[in-house]
Amino acid sequence: MRYKEAPDLKLRTLEIVKTLGMGHVDTNRIECIRSMGSSTKRTIARVHTLGKLMQKAMKLDAFYAIEFLERFEKLSREDQDKVIIHELLHIPKTFGGGFRQHDFVCENNVEIMYEKYLNLKEKNSVLTDFEGNLNQKELEKPVKRRPLW
């Protein structure tokens, strides 16, 4: 196995965390890594952490690494975003080194979060310009309302 840092995937992950308001994810204590040479046939990505015992013994706070295998690169942008969301959902609200299991991290919850992400991303792009500044013209536009009858 070969590993390589993935700063582009880290930026995408940070954007998803910020857009979805996943405040429990300490972005200073996650990292994204590409791996090459895995023999697994089904795995696209996985999240890793040190066990609590090792954290305590080494006097370290929890740290999560998201590993993206070669199959990830072949996915569409939409499916890649869903995989990133899936892996982020494994990180519990306590950010303590544990994992949320697949009873919570399931296709339905990933789809819900992905739709939320798209809606928030679209809303934010309308309200901000390309540099991230509030777009006053968009804020001042009158809201078109349909009649209630």
Q: Is the pTM of this model over 0.85?
A: no
Burial class (CB in 10 A: 0-12, 13-18, 19+), 57: exposed
> In this predicted model, what pLDDT tens digit does every residue of 29-78 receive, in sequence order?
999 999 999 988 899 999 999 988 999 999 999 999 999 999 999 999 99
In 3-state terms the chain splits into helix, strand, coil percentages (rounded to 5) of: 45, 15, 40
pLDDT of res. 117: 96
Structure tokens at 49: 């952490």
Whether the per-residue pLDDT at 139 is higher than 70: the answer is no
What is the rounded average pLDDT of the residues 10-25? 95
> In this predicted model, what pLDDT tens digit does every residue of 76-115 receive, in sequence order?
999 999 999 999 999 999 999 899 999 899 999 999 999 9
pLDDT of res. 124: 77
Query: Of 16-20, 48-52, 123-127, 141-145, where does the model show the most confidence?
Result: 16-20
Give dist(CA 66, CA 57) in Å, integer: 23
- Identify which has the larger pLDDT, 132 or 82: 82
H helix or E strand, kind and range, residue 44: none
Whether the per-residue pLDDT at 129 is higher than 60: the answer is no
pLDDT band at 128, cuts 50/70/90? low
